[in-house]
Structures are given as structure tokens and as C-alpha cells.
Amino acid sequence: MDRRQRLFVHRIGIDHGRMNFWRAIVLAALAATAPALLAGEIPPDARRSGYSFMGPDTRAMQDDDSSNPGMLFVLDGEALWTKKAGSAHKACADCHGDARSSMKGIAARYPAFDKALARPVTLDQRINLCRANHQQAAPLPYESRDVLALSAFVAHQSRGVAITAGDDPQLKPFVEQGRNLFMQREGQLNLACTNCHDDNFEKRLAGSPITQAQPTGYPLYRLEWQTLGSLERRLRSCMTGVRAQAYDYGAPELVALELYLMSRARGMPMETPAVRP
């Protein structure tokens, strides 16, 4: 490869030889570890939290609130809950009171249908809608510490509560949209979410366990990230991993995917903030 070719590869971010190498590695790993591909969706009674795939050290970190780094975000969210914001000079607590009672079970049903928008919204989006409509405050950026902290604090109040997302009949077409996206092959590696998380769970890829993608602990702390992150961040990371164009944060497709994943985890207990590798 001459200097101009190297410059071209650097600018567009594609090295076809390297891309084909990693594609071969991924496909070989999946093929070698799966006796039967395209096994289909996991039956409800066989669905397991990602916690069950973790090693003892990671489980211990999640189990002990004094060791769980995600709890630092929960504490930040608790402070934000009572902090007045916006031109209305109101705090979340002014409307919702004590989150330990008013928010118990709320995160377990998100994404939820919003009548005014006629579509589902995530918990992060609901927080920003409340800021706009009731606090007259600017929206918090996606993946910002404040929105993750508030989301983690609210979701933490549902820890141990069974997930009920997707029960609303108005959500049925959006759940189906999310399911179709989960089953759809994409990217230069031509892989779908189901190829890893339905067909090959309990195997390993690049040293990490492949889970069933049950989103019971979001927002969660990933050791790889060294911070808390949303389910949307994880989905975008997977899309990038298969060399697909990731949807923007808040895109209807990401909301539909999140809704489908939460609906298929129905009945499983919330764990926020979970800890994962």
C-alpha cells in the first residue's frame, strides 16, 4: 500500500483487508461455538439476566452497594431530584414527592406510550419532557452525567420489581418494529442481534460472555467504559461492532429496540445499577 492509499484508508476509516479479517474471526467464532444457528427466540422460561453470565468478582461488585460504582450516579441523581431547575424554579420532588414511593415500579414499564407524541418514549426522554413541560428547563444531553444520574436514581427505586414494559396495547406495533430490527441482519458483517444473543448466548466473543441481552440493569456500569451508560449506548456500540451505521440517540429505531428488549424481559426483576464487564 503506497502513501496515497494509506492516507485514503486513514481518512475514510476502512481497511478492507482488516475488515475481512475481523469478519472472518467473528463468523468463525460464532460458527465454531454454535451447534445450531438460527435457533429462534429464547423461550420465556429460559430467559436469564446478564448477571447470571458474570464472574464472581463482577457479581460481588453489583451485589454490594458500597462497591458498586453505579451507586455514585444514583447518589448524584438523588441530589438532582430535589434541585430546582429552569425558569419555573421547580424540582422533580415538587411534583413527585418522595421517589422511594412515587417512582417505585415506574422504570419497569419504560419505554412507555406517550399520548401527546403518539409513540413510546424512554425514561431518559420522559425526564427531558418533564424538564421542558414542567420546569421550563433545557433538555439534558444524551449520555450526560445528569441525565444518567436521574435515570439511575429513578430506576433504582424499582430494583427487584418485575418488568412490565410492552403491556400497553398501544405499544404493540412498536414492539413488533423492535423485534424486526433485532432479527434484521445489518452492517458489513451481515449479523443480526439474534445471531449472538439468541443463537450463541453462553459462548464467548473476544473474551467476554455473550448474554441474552436482557436489559434488566440499565443504566448500568460497564467496566469497559469506566462509567455508567444507557441501553442506547450499548445498542449503538453493537451496531458499530458489526460495521453498521448506528442510529442517533433518541431515534425511533433505538426506542423500538429498547422497547422490544424490555418486553421480552417481562417478569424479570430490575437490577439498576447493574455492573457488567
Closest C-alpha to 110, from 244, 255, 230, 12: 255
Q: Give the Cα separation of 203 and 178 in Å (integer).
A: 24
pLDDT at 60: 98
* pLDDT bracket for residue 97 (50, 70, 90): very high
CATH of domain 60-270: 1.10.760.10
- In eight-state DSSP terms, residue 274 is P
* pLDDT bracket for residue 6 (50, 70, 90): very low
Q: What is the mean pLDDT of residues 71-98?
A: 98
Question: What is the residue extent of each domain of the chain?
Answer: 60-270
102 annotated active-site: no
Is 193 marked as a binding-site residue?
A: yes
Is 196 marked as a binding-site residue?
A: yes
Of residues 23 and 71, more confidently modeled: 71
pLDDT at 106: 98
Q: Average model confidence (pLDDT) for the chain? A: 89
Q: What is the mean pLDDT of residues 251-263?
A: 98
Question: What is the greatest pairwise CA distance in the chain?
Answer: 66
- Block residue for cell numbers 429513578: 154
Count of residues in the chain:
277
Give residue-wise pLDDT tens across range 25-41: 455 444 444 433 445 78
CB contact burial 201-226 (16+ within 10 A = b; e otherwise): beeeeeeebbbbbbbbbbbbbbeeee
- The active-site residue out of 113, 188, 238, 243 is 238
pLDDT at 40: 73
Is 10 marked as a binding-site residue?
A: no
pLDDT at 102: 98
pLDDT at 61: 98
* pLDDT bracket for residue 87 (50, 70, 90): very high
pLDDT at 208: 86
Q: Give the Cα separation of 36 and 81 in Å (integer).
A: 49
Is 16 marked as a binding-site residue?
A: no
- Block residue for cell numbers 485514503: 8
| Position 260 pLDDT exceeds 90 | yes
pLDDT at 16: 47
| Position 108 pLDDT exceeds 50 | yes
Is 159 marked as a binding-site residue?
A: no
| Position 214 pLDDT exceeds 50 | yes
| Position 276 pLDDT exceeds 70 | yes
Give residue-wise pLDDT tens across range 111-140: 999 999 999 999 999 999 999 999 999 999
| Position 244 pLDDT exceeds 90 | yes
pLDDT at 206: 83
pLDDT at 265: 97
- Residue spans of alpha helices (H) in the chain: 3-12, 16-33, 56-63, 70-81, 92-96, 99-102, 123-130, 145-156, 172-183, 193-197, 231-241, 252-264
Among left, alpha and beta (phi > 0; psi -120 to 50; other), residue 112 is beta
Is 234 marked as a binding-site residue?
A: yes
